[in-house]
Structure 1
Amino acid sequence: MTKAVIYARYSSHSQREESIEGQLRECHEFALKNGMTVINEYCDRAISGKTDNRPSFQRLIKDSEKGQFEAVIMYTLDRFARNRYDSAIYKAKLKKHGVRVFYAKQPMPDTPEGIILESVLEGYAEYYSENLSRNIKRGLKENALQCIATGGAGVALGYTVGEDRKYKIDPVGAKIVQEVFEMYADGMSATQIINVCNERGYKTSRGNPFNKNSLRTMLKNDKYIGVYRFMDVVVEGGVPAIISKELFDKVQAKLQHNFTARARNKAKEDYLLTTKLFCGHCGSPMVGESGTSKTGKLHFYYKCIDRKRKHVCTKKVEKKDWIEELVTRFTVQEVLTDENIDRIATKAMEIIEKESADTTYLEGLQNELKEVQKKIKNIMTAIEQGIITSTTKDRLEELESEKNEIEGRIAREEIKKPLLTKERIVYWLLSFKSGDINDIEYRRRVIDTLVNSVYIYDDGDKGRRIVLTFNVSGQNTATISCSDIACSAPHKRVDKRDLGDFFAIFNIQLIFQ
């Protein structure tokens, strides 16, 4: 008796194809009528025949090498493949291993005419598949031109699909999206943002905790500024925007900066101005470098990346300690003036008050709670009527857990009052101003918080020219000039001198713009 295996496949629930179970039943009947013994079944569910990347199909081909069966039975010819090239290749492999292919609903005569008939049917199967795919794509493109949700990878966090099948803002998810973008724009690291989101119980659109991949995908998604994308269709304003374009552009710039600064995390020495220090001549970033002198001493400095990689820029290297201390001192004593502190505190209070006035997130949570409570009430009504099963109990426990989580999020949101006052912010900034300039963590806080960019030029006989831009409104740009001797010579620490003394020692001139 011939030993045979069965291969069954269907593409999707939306297509009118015989189910796996129906295919198996017909194939078993075929085997019984033709004196075959079925020793195994291979099934691929919801996988197209246009691809050969089908786990069970590939396992069948591999198993055919072992000589354990002589026949493969399928429901119809198109279950094997909807691509003539794949069909020919894999049938040749089966034939090489002594395995014949049979179709329960399309018997093929073992004659030259049968070979021709099989080729015709394969060609039709491929045509049917391509035509179906083309029609589906055409329909999806028509939907896309109307900015209708097309499914696929799922709905991005912050959106839901309305009855008209168009994207609408989900207040709860949108609030999370806004917070994430603002945290990144404010200088928080990816790890910090992920930790904050997971501590607050935020979930991605798939209901999973946040990780680096989901965070980066969110931050790169221009749907949040209203751009609808599908295939080659791009519609500006096709979906409601959740964040402003200015915030989105700021985040993209930071993503690019952080991408180019990956070496900073690998360096043993912490280069505080990485992503902020640029060559004034070619505009390229200046990155951390180290080298050992003839005496064996290790030196740390910044080098123009264009000079480092392409050798096309002539910008001299800059000593790490010198430039970091100069930038920190100048920022603290000249940027954190009483006027700027008052301006920063006022702006911060405006943001806090606006945040407190925005109740869309809280209202969204309250609506979610009402829905959950309604479901719990329905289950309780069913229980009171004597309708209770293990599934009912499990669902009730699930809803109770969901209710507790939402209530916790509501409680956290309700206590978000403007606890900070302008006076407290001013006090914090003043204490910030009086930190230890020689403390590496203090320098990091100053540079990360207040410094936007630093451009440094070789200024011939005059030495160096440094242009600084700060994260404050008003006069936020200043130019520092210093002599070549002062810039290159080592200097002792200046602990208790004011900035004027510091600049006098190094012959530095300031020009505010």
Structure 2
Amino acid sequence: MEIEEPGVLYGRYSSHNQKDISIEQQFEKCYELAAEYGIRIIDTYADRAVSGRTDKRVDFQRMMTDAAKGKFRYVLAWKSNRIGRNMLEALVNEARFQELGVRVLYVEEDFDDTAAGRFAARSMMNVNQFYSENMAEDIKRGLYDNAANCMVTNGHLPYGYKADDTLHYAIDEPKAAVIREIFTRVSCGEAFVDIMSSLNARGITTSYGRPWGRSSFQKILSNERYRGIYIYGDVRKEGGIPRIVSDELYFKVQEAITTKKNPQGRHRVNGDYLLTGKLFCGHCKSPMTGISGTGRAGKLHFYYVCQKRRTEKTCHKKNVRRDVIELKIAKAIRDYALKDDIIEWIADSCVEDHDRRVSESHLSVFEDQLAEVNRSIKNVMSAIEKGIITETTKGRLMELEAERTAIEGKICAAKAAIVPTNRERLVEWLRSLREGDVHDKKYQAGLFDTFLVAAYLYDDNRVKIVFSFAGDKNTIEIPLEDVIDSIDDEASCVRLSSTLSHQKHRIRITFLMRCFFS
């Protein structure tokens, strides 16, 4: 060409192919080709660590925009697979350039603008497409082979895990302790915002090194890998990776985040409705939800209203003041659930449940197996120290070490499923709850989260309370007047008739124990 035409360079580098030529090397070759053709390079475009199998490339799209503006006449690339490994995409892109009066030249593939040249270009694109698809199949096959052996595959490891020397999952204990803490605190009803503040205050960061946010917990809490399930694509293997939390704790958390109205704990300007999800209309059994309204004097009031009455106008349940009913139910829970005989019964049930879990965990059996394996390892090491180094001794040592790792994993899982129990401390904690200020909202929330399953409110000044700590007969019904009369007189004690204190029930132990011992 007698007059230099304007042209640009395009380079792409895929991080998945480490043998690929670098963008700088691509541009070096392209500049040589430009000098040979007499093309004046006016700009360069580069997409780093981006696959060519998609056109969602920032600089590629910028180049197409500039081509439409007529800024250049030539695009120089190292190979045709820079434009797109998929043949259809490459052909479409070349056609787009051609429509804009732009010609594409390749350093390593000298295709002239003739029928034969275009045929050669199309053939090379077919080869590139085959290479791309074949490589993708090989990678996918390799990943699924790894998955069949419960090995770490591509992707970010969940917080609390690391890869061992054999590329299998291993517990990263400091981070695993954070995972157990998060699950335990959520199971006890603590809001995400409070857990977030606590972790950030202690300088604990996420797996990406960033501070925790309210949205950090949803993915963690729904990840079944933490209960020992290996998951990759459609591969799912129970016990395929070391367990961090017990099944009981995991499912308790699922219940908490699905039944609690505001698990993230985004505190409202006018305060939380603490009984949301737990207060129901005694007449139609619909949930009672929080609303607010302004009185004649301009004062803002907060109420619970029957949802069916609010939406369908088919229930006659009257609205009830938020602060009044929350105070009454909190007082009823404190005076019933924290009586001496109930506290003693809860403590005894916790001890019984702990003993049962220990006996069912086979922990002592695993510990005996571990001691036996350690003795065998010591014997093999003694033989090696004496100079008996053979393929048999080395193989046996590797077998024993693998067996020891497996047993240690079983011991960790068994211990994680057992909540520590100290009867005296539990009794002391439950008794200390009686000393709380029943007018304090945080104290009320603690009582509701720990002891209350549901409360059914009727218009004849009575409420039916369903507690979390008793089995089938876990309900009491009380007149609200008794509570009203005693709220302002803390010296008086409400005498609630108990139909439960002398009966045997199955307690929902783990929830109470984790709330205390976490």
- Whether contact under 8 Å (1:279, 1:315) holds in the other structure is no
Match of 2:365 in 1: none
Q: 1:424 to 1:251 in 2, by over 3 A?
A: closer
Query: Does 2:9 align with 1:6?
Result: yes
Aligned pair 1:162/2:164, yes or no?
yes
The partner residue of 1:252 within 235, 251, 254 is: 254
- Distance in 2, Cα, partners of 1:477 & 1:343: 14
- State the match for 1:147 in structure 2: 150
Of 34, 46, 50, the residue aligned with 1:47 is 50
User: What is the TM-score with the length of structure 2 in the denominator?
Assistant: 0.71
Displacement, 1:23?
Answer: 1.6
**Could you say which residue in structure 2 is the equivalent of 1:373?**
none
User: What TM-score do the two structures reach when normalised by structure 1?
Assistant: 0.72
Q: Is the 8 A contact 2:466 2:475 kept in 1?
A: yes
Q: Which amino acid aligns with 1:271?
A: Y
* Deviation sequence 1:285-339 (CA, Å, 0-9, x none): 4321234678987653323446655x49748355134432331121111111123
In 2, the alpha carbon distance for the partners of 1:440 and 1:268 equals 12
Identity %: 36
Matches within 5 A, 1:457-468: 466-468=464-466
Determine which of 177, 180, 193 is the counterpart of 1:178: 180
Matched residue, 1:187: 189
Please tell me whether the aligned partners of residues 315 and 457 of structure 1 are also in contact (alpha carbons under 8 angstroms): no
* Counterparts in 2 of 1:88 and 1:281: CA distance versus 1, 3 Å: farther
Indicate conservation of the 8 Å contact 2:279/2:457, yes or no. no
| CA shift for structure 1 position 480 | 0.9
Letter in 1 for 2:222: K
Shift of 1:37: 1.7
Please report how far the alpha carbon of residue 124 of structure 1 lies from its aligned counterpart in structure 2 after TM superposition: 3.3
Q: Does 1:335 align with 2:332?
A: no
In the alignment, which residue of structure 2 is the partner of 1:469? 467
Q: Find 1:495's aligned residue among 474, 488, 491.
A: 488
More relative contact order, 1 or 2 (CA 8 Å, 6+ apart):
2
Q: Describe how 1:2-41 pairs up with structure 2 within 5 A.
A: 2-41=5-44
Q: Does 1:454 align with 2:454?
A: yes
Deviates more, 1:246-255 or 1:272-281: 272-281
Residue of structure 2 aligned with 1:270, choices 269, 272, 286: 272
Give, in whole Å, the separation in 1 of the partners of 2:233 and 2:65: 36
Cα deviation code 1:327-375 (max 9, x no counterpart): 1121111111123445667899999xxxxxxxxxxxxxxxxxxxxxxxx
CA–CA separation in structure 2 for the residues paired with 1:41 and 1:432: 70
Q: Distance in 2 between matches of 1:475 and 1:329?
A: 23
- Structure 2 equivalent of residue 107 of structure 1: 110
Q: In 1, distance between residues paired with 2:256 and 2:435?
A: 29
What per-residue deviation string (whole Å, max 9, x for no partner) do you get for residues 78-100 of structure 1? 11012344334433433343221
Counterpart of 1:415? none
Q: Secondary structure at the residue paired with 2:54?
A: coil
> Aligned pair in 2 of structure 1 residues 347, 87: CA closer, same or farther (>3 Å)?
same
Report the AA paired with residue 434 of structure 2. K
Question: Aligned residue for 2:243?
Answer: 241
Confirm whether residue 117 of structure 1 aligns to residue 110 of structure 2: no
Question: Deviation at 1:67?
Answer: 2.5
Per the TM alignment, residue 246 of structure 1 is displaced from its structure 2 partner at its CA by 0.7
SS at match of 1:184: helix
Question: Aligned with 2:7: secondary structure?
Answer: strand
Distance 1:303 1:260, change over 3 A: farther
Distance 1:129 1:240, change over 3 A: same
CA contact (8 A) 2:227 2:244 kept: yes
Q: Quote the residue 2:389 is aligned against.
A: none
Summarize deviations over 1:52-94 as a string: whole Å, max 9, x none. 1111111211222333221000111111012344334433433
Give the one of 135, 138, 146 matched to 2:138.
135
Contact 1:458 1:465 in 2 (8 A): yes
Does the CA contact (< 8 Å) of 2:229 and 2:240 recur in 1?
yes
* Whole-angstrom distance in 2 between the partners of 1:281 and 1:126: 68
Instruction: Flag the 1:178–1:283 CA change in 2: closer, same or farther, 3 A.
Output: farther
- Seen in structure 2, the aligned counterparts of structure 1 residues 21 and 140 have a Cα distance that, compared at 3 Å, is same
The question of 1:480 aligning with 2:487 is answered no
What is the rounded CA distance, in whole Å, between the counterparts of 1:284 and 1:261 in structure 2? Answer: 21
Contact 1:481 1:510 in 2 (8 A): no
Q: What is the distance in 1 between the residues matched to 2:178 and 2:266?
A: 29
Asked whether the equivalents of residues 225 and 244 of structure 1 are also in contact (C-alpha less than 8 Å), the reply is yes
Shift of 1:479: 2.2
Contact 1:264 1:288 in 2 (8 A): no
Report the Cα distance in structure 2 between the residues aligned to 1:168 and 1:54, rounded to whole angstroms: 36
Query: Would you say the 8 A contact 1:2–1:37 is kept in 2?
Result: yes
- In 2: Cα distance, 1:263 partner to 1:147 partner: 37
Please report how far the alpha carbon of residue 466 of structure 1 lies from its aligned counterpart in structure 2 after TM superposition: 1.5
Change (3 A) 1:23 1:193: same
State the Cα deviation string for residues 420-440 of structure 1 (Å, max 9, x = none). Answer: x98787666545424444444
Cross-structure match for 1:403: none
Partner residue of 2:98? 95
Distance 1:246 1:422, change over 3 A: closer
Provide the rounded CA distance (Å) in 2 between the counterparts of 1:236 and 1:56. 45
Question: 1:63 aligns to what?
Answer: 66
- What is the CA distance between 1:476 and its match in structure 2? 8.3
Counterpart for residue 391 of structure 2:
none
Quote how far apart the aligned CAs of 1:160 are.
1.7
Which one is further off, 175-184 or 51-60?
175-184
Letter in 2 for 1:456: Y
Q: 1:477 and 1:123, CA in 2 relative to 1: closer, same or farther beyond 3 A? A: same
- Whether the aligned pair in 1 keeps the contact of 2:191 and 2:264 (CA below 8 Å) is no
In 2, Cα distance between equivalents of 1:159 and 1:55: 34
Q: 1:43 to 1:439 in 2, by over 3 A?
A: closer
1:409-428 equivalences under 5 Å are none
Q: Distance in 1 between matches of 2:172 and 2:298?
A: 61
CA contact (8 A) 1:315 1:458 kept: no
Which residue, out of 296, 300, 303, partners 1:301?
Answer: 303
- Return the offset for 1:492: 7.4
For 1:247, give the aligned amino acid.
L
The range that moved more, 244-253 or 283-292, is 283-292
